[in-house]
Chain A
Amino acid sequence: MPSPDGGDEMRNRPTAEELLQIAEETLSNKVTTNLPQEQRYNVAMIVSAIGIARRELAGGRFAWDGELDALQRLYATDIQKPAESTLFNLSSKLASDFRAGVYDESSENHKVALNILIKDVLARLNEDSPRYLKMTS
């Protein structure tokens, strides 16, 4: 049955993401202010955990959707296995190649490999701590 707003969602509204958002806001704006000092730290952690979970849910399967493609291009592979295991294997290879010094010298692959790191870290940072970049810049 189509949802009232025209989508094909079978689940009830508010969605999981919406519920997490309002829970996060309620804790942050209404609960924290009435708490004794020693409990505020715990609530701040709960708010943080809910925020991360909410952004991860909204983001989908991977923090950076292009990571698998980028690694497959770097290693010229096109393995038709489940994405998670392929991503794990290629990411492990990238890590061990860095350790072995494969990307010590400046080259096209060196640039590509470092670019993968940048995109991966920024994508995860946006999920885990979006305020961090704002504070840094």
Chain B
Amino acid sequence: MNKCAELSLCEFLRGSALADKVTVKMGNLLNGGAIQENRAITVTIDGGDFAGTKEMVLRTEASTTVPESRLLEQQFALLKVANAAGVKVPTPYWYCGDPSILGKPFYLMQRLKGEALGIRITRAGQQPHLAAALGRELARIHNIQPPQIKLSFLGAVSESPALDAIAKYRVYLDELPEPHPTLEWTLRWLENRAPTSCSTVLCHRDFRTGNYLVHEGALTGVLDWEFAGWGDPHEDIGWFCARCWRFSAPGLEAGGIAGRKVFYNSYESSSGRKLEKELIAYWETMAHVRWAVIALQQSMRYRAGGEPSLDLALIGRRLAELEYECLRLTGVMK
């Protein structure tokens, strides 16, 4: 960030915090956030209610995104609603949509302690307490139900989130340059078995290992709200348990950190909702198609020349893993 942008940012923060003076010290880019850019920032505030030195994250929109990703302003609104509902999330501070400050929208939130990288978290082996904490946290998220005036941008509640998802993923596949027969097979399989939804809740839609922070074995916060929307609660359960998010511990079916039972039990007792195994299996299959489609879109961000990122380039080569799981879950392969 150049000096001019840094001064503009300080001035924005001074106004937002109703402070006398604000200085910032820019830190490293943080891992994760393949779409948005997250940078550590230390903010020192003189005067006003926020006085003191705070460790924050500056989140800005990337130059290219994927279609499912919500606008930064909407992500900020989701974070505020989740925070108000008692979900463990970074405290959201201020959003700025004025491009004259940093050239693109951004917001600031609390920088929580902890590790987010899935590969490191799953190396610790069985973590039933963490899985139980995540079950409770997901129940809290699912307690947020429509209507919510502050989330009006999420649109109307669908009668069939599954059929909506299938239609959306087919549109995305049609926009890609190559055919994907395995994904088409899986979407057809899902279409033929689409459930009618049992209840509608706020789905995080990226609730999985790699998107929460763990500090000294304890959950400190749920991150990355860019895909959230109204949906079937089983969708988040299936996503969390999907093989693609177990990293180095495929045998630990709840996010690579524990068996399913401890996660399901914690969720059920906290939410008062009985989970249906068939629906979880259905949404787990959908999870692999969805991640495959997003991976292809992410890869296109690299292929189309917008983002020179090895991370994005490699995501496209994850496809075979996801298709393998699709074939296994639809019974084509053992």
Contacts and interface: CB of A to CB of B under 8 A. Distances in A.
A129 B317 CA distance: 8
Given A128-B318, A132-B321, A46 B179 contact: no
Contacts of A133: 324
B311 A45 contact: yes
Interface string A115-132: 011101110110111001
Nearest to A115: B332
B123 interface: no
Interface stretch (A5-13, A19-27, A88-96): A88-96
Nearest to B29: A38
Chain B binding surface SS class: helix
Contacts of B179: 88, 91-92, 94-96
A124 B332 contact: no
Interface in B277-334: 310-311, 313-314, 317-321, 323-324, 327, 332-333
Chain A contact patch, size range: 35 or more
B117 interface: yes
Given A95-B184, A118-B327, A124 B320 contact: yes
A136 B333 CA distance: 13
A91 B310 contact: no
A36 B205 CA distance: 33
Contacts of A104: 188, 192
B152 interface: no
Interface of B: 28, 31, 117, 170, 178-182, 184-185, 187-188, 192, 243, 248, 250, 310-311, 313-314, 317-321, 323-324, 327, 332-333
Given A92-B179, A128-B319, 6 more contacts: A114-B332, A121-B320, A121-B323, A121-B324, A129-B317, A129-B318
22 contacts: A38-B31, A41-B31, A45-B311, A46-B310, A91-B181, A94-B179, A94-B181, A98-B185, A98-B188, A103-B188, A104-B192, A113-B185, A114-B185, A116-B181, A117-B182, A117-B332, A121-B320, A121-B323, A125-B321, A128-B317, A128-B321, A129-B321
